[in-house]
Amino acid sequence: MAEHTYTTGGPGVAVLLTITSNAAAAVAKVLRLTNQTTVARDGSGIWTVTPANEEDSAEFYTFLEAALPVGSSSVVEATRVRENGTSIGGGTSGGTQYMLAVAGPVENNGAGADRKIGVFCVTVDPSSGSWTQKAGDPTAPTIVLKSFAPSVAHTLGFALVDAISDGTNTLYEMGSGNITVAANSQGTVDFITKYTA
């Protein structure tokens, strides 16, 4: 098998989806991104996704208020660490739980057929909504998403995010497939056929 490199950035969007009956149900928020998104995994397996958000609008803050009602805190339940060091549970107490799909780079500097994607069950961290302002620069409030490990598997059907676009790039080639975050897993990274119009 040939070695593949994934160096071209993904489309400028990430998608948060509501969860119903252990599956992604509907698009809750399309995050318009600038040129950098950080997807970090800590030593216990918890993912923290920090999209470089560019949206600064009343709608964005309305979304945050719904995602983080008054009284939300940073943990929905104690995160339990197993003997092997992996974590299960966690999340934002009182906050809404979502599935997150993040489009990553396309193989071989954009010339290949596959796109790297990350799919996670997440909550919005209470630190979200912060911003820094500087004369002459646009403001861009932060959004920080932290994974939690669901007790049962959660599935994202590709059709839910088919052809979501940032105006230039389409997010996914969907077809009829899906990606599943396994029970007690903090998320999954996969490679799927990139979208071609």
Among 10-19, 61-70, 151-160, the least confident range: 10-19
**Mean pLDDT, range 45-51, rounded to an integer:** 90
What value does the mean pLDDT take over residues 13-20?
Answer: 86
Tell me how far apart the alpha carbons of residues 53 and 141 are, in angstroms, rounded to a whole number: 7
Query: Where does the pLDDT of residue 62 fall: very low under 50, low under 70, confident under 90, or very high at 90 and above?
Result: very high
pLDDT at 2 over 90: no
* Cβ contact 155:140 at 8 Å: no
Q: Tell me the domain boundaries of the chain.
A: 6-193
Angstrom distance (rounded) from CA 96 to CA 32: 20
Provide the pLDDT for residue 1: 32
pLDDT value of position 161: 73
Flag whether pLDDT at 34 surpasses 70.
no
Q: Let me know: does 92 contact 123? Beta carbons within 8 Å.
A: yes
Is residue 174 within 8 Å of 196, Cβ to Cβ?
no
pLDDT tier for residue 174 given thresholds of 50, 70 and 90 = very low
Instruction: Indicate the range of 43-57, 128-142, 162-176, 179-193 predicted with least confidence.
Output: 162-176
**Among the listed residues 197, 82, 95, 87, the one whose alpha carbon sits nearest the alpha carbon of residue 150:** 87
Residue 171 has pLDDT above 60, yes or no: no
The whole-model pTM stands at 0.78
Cα gap 74→169, rounded to integer Å: 34
- Per-residue pLDDT tens over the stretch 109-122: 666 777 788 899 99
Task: Tell me the average pLDDT across 75-101.
Answer: 65
What residue has token string 């949206």?
55
